[in-house]
Amino acid sequence: MVDLSPIWSSFNAGELSPLLDGRTDQEKYFSGCRVMQNFIPTVQGPAMRRGGSRYLGGVKDNARAWLIPFEFSSEQSYVLEITDRIVRFWVNRGQLQSGGLPFQIATVWPAADLITADGTLALRTVQSADVMWMCVQTGDKPPYKLTREGATTWPLSPVPFVNGPFADINPNSGLSVQASAATGTVTLTASAALFRASDVGTAFYLEDLDYLNLPTWEPGKTVTSSSIWRYEGNVYVATAVGVTNKTGTFPPVHLEGLAQDGVGAATWSYVHSGYGWGTITAFGSSTSVTMTVTNTLPNGVVAAGTGRYARAAFNNDDGWPTDVTFFRERLVYVRGRSIYASVVGSYDDFSRRDGPDVTKETAFILALTSDRVDSLRWAIGAQRLLLGSSRTELSVQEQTPQQVFAADNATNTPQTEYGSRLLHPLRVGNVVLFVQRSGRKMRELQYDFSVDGFKADELTVLAEHILKAGVVDFDFAQEPDSVVWCVLGDGSLAALTYNRERGVIAWAPHYIGDEGITSNAEGVVSGAAFVESVSSISSPDGTRDDVWLVVRRTINGGIKRYVEVLEDNTLAETLGLPFAFYPDSGITRPGGAPTTTITGLGHLEGAVVQILADGNPHPDRTVTSGQVTLDFAASRVHVGFNSPARLKTMRVDANVGGSAQTQMKSLSEVWLRLNQSLGGKAGPDFSRLDALPFTDPAAPIGSPLSLISGDRRIVWPATYDTDGYVCVVQDQLLPMTLVAIIGRLNISEGE
């Protein structure tokens, strides 16, 4: 017989894959768990029970909804509820109201446009201050801008593609387009079929070289009023000739308005730079449209027409952008295999020339050249502009790093070949997290100086089972635990504690409580509520990141969708046990005179709920007429569904002249080291659990319950097996932080 004292000192490897059951050669084996449900693996090592989900309100019409963060600052953060053609707003853990009703705005996106073929959100967004640009991943709707102008003033309008981008100039020299005038509202007439009804509302570009026949400005030349001259690609008309009737000494170089070329000399008005464009406002036929001129058209386009023209790059026939991001002070759209970069600092301006010149600041289009790239699925700005398709990941950056990112200094470089699903990635610090094409693997795309390129390590390799249902939504909560929250296709949550600095990559599944939630001895959960979307914004006080959920439930025989937020799981520690909040879809009676009647539970009508009354567990009740009645009067009461936290260690192992695996063994004694906890159970499996001591033995009889920190011994059944598991459960609305497990292990030699 060998007597040992094994210790499970850390749980920050999270729940490990069953494929690792025999990998005692791996360091993570000894800080991982076979089951870890509704616990958050902390960077420091302990497993901390997650907070409950607080009920905030219902989704409009109980429809399928998505949550999108809108954060102006940590103090001004909103969550947008996106449903069929409607956006509602949530702020300060409540619904934004106007006139006593939920404030909402109409949109152009029906429910079918909001979901991709992978079941993910189709809307792609990027935000700068109070403005959010939004486009649809399918590319069949134009981008829109959502602007916060006031508490209940949120205009949503199409992005004004007035100045491009334009497709390539038409190569068909046999077809020409003529304008009826150079400015104002004009008629464009094509020599053959060209125009489409879908061109209405889009820009059209025309270019002509007629200015090459104009006189070139030189100093001291005789000039007459209304004469047209050119200088370095720009065309000007003389509006005044001065006292000498001659040009001055300073050439005209302005690109708008009037300027003199010298004291007492000629005054010049800018006309055009050999090209112009406008917005088509009406369709007459395939050869005739009406256009409002934005940039004055060249004279030759009016006099004789031109064969050099281009329609808008984005339109209903050719498609609209499928993603949008920022990079190097430019707004960047993607569509197909191309990126469209705006003018620097002017996010809705896609002018590719400033007068006659292509400059470092003007907009440009870059067609990607990698042979493995199909249509881009996402774009995100980081150290470089990172792009993903269904087959590969690549980067776009300056060709010469010492120069500005511009049309003549941009290149794309293939990086990795894993492929992505139709889900926008997350930027976390200096890395980008994306979900692989199948939805079952997550990778971190980050720059590696040793290879002067990007690598994409898999983050799910030690817990490949966690994401088997496929990720359909995810977001990152930096404070307090650095967790990526993932919504899976089966309605469950998966949490990734992610801290590369400390080498912590730990997964844990989470199940949102419902009336029918159950689990078996192997830890398999059924009957949990169905989570459909997740979003993270700063909490109202800015001290943590709130995790918001859309949860689908069956209540009183009907489908309900609720907006809920995961509560701070340290409230008991910071404010006291009566403030601990662990029910799901829960509400709180915040205090006041003690009462036995708790109201405000209409959203849980007919359901069996758990209760914590002034820090004391209370027997379950069934909600009737939106209320429950307590056995005793209480002031601060929390009511909602329970969702137990469950942990099961890996098989115990020890060096006994070899591995202790498969040897008959018995844990004769087990101690749980806890921090700020109360209650809980433990045992060799989930069907054989004994309660932990519920009170401090040193406390006087009749003292109120208080949190416990320290070691608690639990009675252990005297049985032998080959596993040596320890299972821990918290199935009441009470806090639990498991710091360590210490056992007394007897191993039978020769058996």
Q: Is the pLDDT of residue 750 over 80?
A: no
Q: Name the helix (H) or strand (E) containing 545.
A: strand 545-555
- Tell me the β-bridge partners of 276: 206
**Token output for 59:** 């989704």
Q: How far is CA 267 from CA 221, 252, 345, in A?
A: 13, 9, 31
Mean pLDDT (whole number) for 18-34:
91
CA torsion sign for 525, 528, 534, 537 is: negative
pLDDT digits (tens, 9 = 90+) for 138-193: 999 999 999 999 999 999 999 999 999 999 888 766 899 999 999 999 999 999 99
Closest CA to 6 of 662, 717, 671: 671
Q: Could you say which DSSP state residue 578 is in?
A: G
User: Between 737 and 254, whose confidence is greater?
Assistant: 737
pLDDT digits (tens, 9 = 90+) for 316-334: 999 999 999 999 999 999 9
Is pTM beyond 0.85? Reply is yes
Q: Which residues contact 226 (CB under 8 A, 6 or more apart)?
A: 237, 238, 239
Q: What is the mean pLDDT of the chain?
A: 91
Beta strand pairing call for 737-747 and 665-677 = antiparallel
Residue 587 in contact with residue 576, Cβ under 8 Å? no
d(CA 34, CA 55): 31
Q: How far is CA 609 from CA 24, 526, 566, 746, in A?
A: 42, 17, 18, 42
Residue 151 in contact with residue 163, Cβ under 8 Å? no
Q: In degrees rounded to 5, what are phi and psi of residue 620?
A: -60, 155
Beta strand pairing call for 14-15 and 32-37 = parallel
Beta strand pairing call for 453-458 and 471-477 = unpaired
Amino acid letter, residue 582: Y
Q: What is the DSSP string of 435-446?
A: EBTTSS-EEEEE
Position of tokens 């967004």? 125
Q: What is the dihedral of CA 588, 592, 596, 597, to 10 degrees?
A: -60
Position of tokens 């390539």? 168
Mean pLDDT (whole number) for 205-234:
86
Chain centroid to CA 728: 34
Query: What is the fold of 2-51+645-747?
Result: Jelly Rolls (2.60.120)
3-state secondary structure at position 696: coil
Please report how many Cα atoms fall inside a 13 Å half-sphere around the Cα of residue 120, on the Cβ side: 27
Position of tokens 């709130």? 546
pLDDT of residue 701: 62
d(CA 96, CA 180): 51
d(CA 545, CA 538): 4
pLDDT digits (tens, 9 = 90+) for 709-748: 999 998 888 788 778 889 999 999 999 999 999 988 877 7
**Token output for 191:** 């020599």
Beta strands in 183-274 (DSSP E): 185-190, 203-207, 228-231, 234-240, 258-260, 267-272
Q: In degrees rounded to 5, what are phi and psi of residue 169?
A: -60, 135
**Token output for 406:** 């511009």
pLDDT digits (tens, 9 = 90+) for 605-632: 999 999 999 999 999 999 999 999 999 9
Mean pLDDT (whole number) for 349-359:
89
Residue 287 in contact with residue 168, Cβ under 8 Å? no
pLDDT of residue 658: 64
Segment among 51-60, 568-577, 700-709 with least mean pLDDT: 700-709
Domain ranges in the chain are 2-51+645-747, 177-311, 583-641
Mean pLDDT (whole number) for 295-312:
91
